[in-house]
Structure 1
Amino acid sequence: MKTYLTLRPVVAAAMAAVALSGCNLAPKFVQPALSVPDAVSAQAGTPAVANAPALSYAQAQAWIQSSQLREVVALALTHNRDLRIVVENIEKARAQYGITRADLLPSITAQGQGTRSRTSADLNSNGQSSISEQFTAQLGFTSYEIDFWGRVRNLSEAGLQAFLQSEENQRNVQIGLVADVSNAWLSLAGDMARLQLAKDTLASREKAYALTKRMFEIGSTSGLVLAQNLSTVETARADVAAFTSQVARDRNALQLLVGGVVAADLLPTAQTLAVSDDNNLALLPVPEQLPSSVLLKRPDVQAAEHNLRAMNANIGAARAAMFPTISLTGSVGSGSRELDTLFGSGNGTWSFMPQIRLPIFDGGRLRAGVDVANANQRIAVAQYEKTVQTAFKEVADALADRAQWGERLGAQTGMVQATQKAFDLSEARFQAGVDNYLTVLDAQRSLYAAQQTLITLRLAEQTNRTTLWKVLGGQEVPLQ
């Protein structure tokens, strides 16, 4: 009976260990819900809904005059997966900075321990078996480094700069997303305008072909003219099919950026770019002499600066590693042979163990580490300078295009008007029997090409406004 009582705590401890070994703290795997419609169709699925912060940000973009586009931007800020990845990377960088910052303080741990052992009779001098017990409780810290040379502080600073860099990267991705969504929405509008032009052209050519066919049947025109007329109809029909497909592809591209289905009432119409409306995507006029300091506020430039600061801090950490390291380990607690007297008077324990580590010979490893840190810093300087130069080039290019858009659009509008007049005159001359139908065909093709080019230029002009906002770092520069 005595042996059973002695083994009972051991058996209970073993059973508890077995029970705990079955625990698993990993979260239960749940397969993400598919973020695509059940059917493969551009029109299928439930339209996405934007959250309040995204709507607030989108509504604050005064340079976007279209209310539908602002809502689409809000949807993208809510559901876009690339942006979601960047946001999670910020949380990861925040946690990593928390780890490095925690190294500045000692890690305090509590420990309790109890042992119970039986010594056989053959091992005891008195020839009798014995059972011994020992209980301890301690509070202490282990290997806390006294940061004389700033190694830990510099590593913490590098972690902070990496975190700040990730925030700027998130802002850069967000600005790029707004620009990409705007351009995709405008591209859809441009192709819808081209599709509508192709449909209108097809309708007019079918009407002209029907008239020519009746003239041919009564002998007023030749079979050659009829065949030429039919070729224009088939060409227009092919364009309608091509632009119909392209519109569907544009809608798919927009919904990929948004991360969900876009409601039909938020999509552009064929008239968005077909009319000469300068307020579709208005951007405040930019001063001719734009200060270069504006470029320093771009998120990519800010991110490059934070990376440079992190590399500087890493140099300090690498240099500090070449100096002696002093670490402390200590604990206070209590110990007793009986559990009920563990915290009794006179049972206190303590230990204190300072340690100094002095690098003597490492084959040049630490010196090479400093050289690597210096090289990384020089690389960061070059990357920072290249980022600033790239920003200057992008803004200068956008401004150079901006200065000529008024003249280009005016010239193309005049071209459309001139070709329209030429087409009207050539058609009238053909009906009067003065000219052949080839002249009408040439004028018709020229008019159609000029109208398509005008839509392309209007789309490019609107895209330039978006690009200018993007390369300015998402800033609306006020007038001087």
Structure 2
Amino acid sequence: MKKWKLFLTVCAQLCFVSFSFSQDKWDLRKCVEYALTNNISVKQADVQARISQLSLNQSRLTQIPTLGFDGSLGLNAGRTQNPFDFSVSNESNISGSFSLSSSVTLFNWFRIRNTIAANRLDAEASKTNIDKVKNDISLNVAAGYLQALLNLEQINTSQLQVKLTLAQLENTRKLVAAGSVPELNALELEAQLARDSATLVTAQAAAATSHLQLKALLNLDAAAPFEIAAPPVELIPVEPLSELQPDAVFNLAKVNMPLQRVNQLRVEASNKTVAAYRGAMMPTLSAYGRLGTAYNNKLQEVYGRSPYAGVDSSAFVKIANQNYKVYAPFVGVNNLVRTPGFFNQMDKSFGQSIGLSLNIPIFNQGQLRTQYNRSKLDKRNVELQQELDNQTLKQDIYKAYTEATASFQKYAAGIKSVETSQKAFDFATKRYNIGLLNTIDLLTNQNNLFKAKIDKLTAQYDYVFKLKVLEFYKGQGIKL
């Protein structure tokens, strides 16, 4: 019963790859295109580029005049002053004022121009940074894709190992039944079959993990069906290692890699920023203009005159110690007043002003000087980052070249190891079948062959990936 369970388990594992995926296969090009469209890091870089463009657009608008409207209308109660005749009274009144003003900077030592230039370079750097992020994503997707391919190849190799051990077990059982070999031989092969099955399960788990990691790079749902196209590694086009010398690749990478272009743009932007802060410490000449009017419901205006006549009897004369009133007729004129209407007041109160203003920074608690000095330090920091990124790029290229050389040597040695291990295993199998070799020695040769195949596969895929990295730095992109 245990033997049948083991047999069914092995068969199920052998069918794992065939039935695990049923959807359209994803090749590297499709994976990269999907990642560049859906990866969150790419979207974040695009948002940052839009923010930089907004800053550039706003800084360009600082060249044109400002225009603003100011208006107020309110109730004044208690002791208030009339804004027209400056009289003080305890009467409440409703007053308002309205103005339209504009100003424009005429000269400020090119601060605005340098700010615009800095923002333009920053915006260009942010756009180029999108390409840098896309390059990083493409390289990571290629690495994940090749790792997934390697895991699938390891599954295939493990499956062949299980099939081989299973065939040997079936043949040995026939020999045991015929009395040619002892039962111990079959038991040892059963144990080997269990170990090979465990190795296959491990390979399947590694393949599932690499697929999940690749999905994460694509921002693809973990539960979504996903199967990659698996071209034979021998058919993946690679440029000869001799044409990927690190010095030549580095010289091309300094020109082609987006990160290097981003750093150069940011260095240029920092130079413009320093110049802008230097200009901020200089005098600024501006022109301004203003249109204004006002209203008050207590304002009085004379709109006419009304004559009147009368007799004044307040004076008197004294005659013989007797007072007698003096009656004196007189004629006068009264002013006729009224409160002007709202629009009438607005029209009569309308005024204009125009002029020049000069702003000279004398002392502002060191703010402008601090900003200027900080901008110079920021510039130095950007230059150091550029130098560091160039060093890292060169190290990565030389490291990839060195590792590619080592992987090629391992791969060449792996080919030889597989050939000799295969011959040794074939010879051991023949000796085992005629009873001249025990099971332990046979399994030793079989395991040596399996290890040689796995080592060869690992070295081969590592070699291909390192060459792809060098091709990528050379500016050829990622392709399989």
Task: Judge which range, 428-437 or 328-337, deviates more.
Answer: 328-337
- Does residue 173 of the first structure (1) align with residue 133 of the second (2)? yes
2:235 match: 277
Task: Please point out which of 350, 363, 377 is paired with 2:353.
Answer: 350
1:85 match: 44
Give the percent of matched residue pairs that are identical in Structure 1 and Structure 2.
Answer: 18
Task: Spell out, residue by residue over 1:273-319, the C-alpha distance to the aligned partner (whole angstroms, 9 max, x if none).
Answer: 4x63244x779994657272552231111111122122212322332
- Does residue 448 of the first structure (1) align with residue 450 of the second (2)? yes
Letter of the 2:121 partner, please give it: Q
1:22-421 residue pairs with structure 2 within 5 A? 68-115=27-74, 132-134=94-96, 136=98, 138-141=99-102, 144-261=104-221, 267-269=228-230, 272-273=231-232, 276-279=234-237, 286=243, 288=245, 290=248, 292-335=251-294, 338-341=341-344, 344=347, 347-350=350-353, 352=355, 354-360=357-363, 362=365, 366-402=368-404, 408-421=410-423
User: Max radius of gyration: which structure?
Assistant: 2
SS of match in other structure, 2:180: coil
Letter of the 1:83 partner, please give it: V
**Which of the pair is proportionally richer in strand?**
2
Letter of the 1:74 partner, please give it: E
Q: Kindly state the Cα deviation for residue 341 of structure 1 after the two structures are TM-superposed.
A: 3.9
Supply the distance in 1 between the matched residues of 2:48 and 2:345 (Cα, whole angstroms): 48
Task: Spell out, residue by residue over 1:76-125, the C-alpha distance to the aligned partner (whole angstroms, 9 max, x if none).
Answer: 12211111111111111111222333333332223444456678999998
Q: Kindly state the Cα deviation for residue 397 of structure 1 after the two structures are TM-superposed.
A: 3.4
1:471 match: 473
Task: Spell out, residue by residue over 1:50-72, the C-alpha distance to the aligned partner (whole angstroms, 9 max, x if none).
Answer: xxxxxxxxxxxxxxxx9822112
CA root-mean-square deviation? 3.9
Q: Kindly state the Cα deviation for residue 205 of structure 1 after the two structures are TM-superposed.
A: 0.7
Task: Judge which range, 101-110 or 445-454, deviates more.
Answer: 101-110
SS of match in other structure, 2:27: helix
Query: 8 Å contact 1:134–1:335 — kept in the other structure?
Result: yes
Q: 1:410 to 1:122 in 2, by over 3 A?
A: closer
Q: 1:209 to 1:130 in 2, by over 3 A?
A: closer
SS of match in other structure, 2:234: coil
Query: 8 Å contact 2:143–2:465 — kept in the other structure?
Result: yes
1:435 match: 437
Supply the distance in 2 between the matched residues of 1:341 and 1:180 (Cα, whole angstroms): 75
Query: 8 Å contact 1:80–1:257 — kept in the other structure?
Result: yes
SS of match in other structure, 2:289: strand
Unaligned runs of 5+ in 2: 1-18, 297-340
Letter of the 1:71 partner, please give it: K
Letter of the 2:34 partner, please give it: L
Q: TM-score, normalised by structure 1?
A: 0.73
Q: TM-score, normalised by structure 2?
A: 0.73
Q: 1:107 to 1:128 in 2, by over 3 A?
A: closer
Task: Spell out, residue by residue over 1:203-244, the C-alpha distance to the aligned partner (whole angstroms, 9 max, x if none).
Answer: 221221232234334443234433332222111111111111
Unaligned runs of 5+ in 1: 1-42, 49-65
Q: 1:473 to 1:394 in 2, by over 3 A?
A: farther
Task: Judge which range, 406-415 or 198-207, deviates more.
Answer: 406-415
Supply the distance in 1 between the matched residues of 2:26 and 2:43 (Cα, whole angstroms): 24
Q: 1:166 to 1:473 in 2, by over 3 A?
A: farther
1:21 match: none
Letter of the 2:117 partner, please give it: E
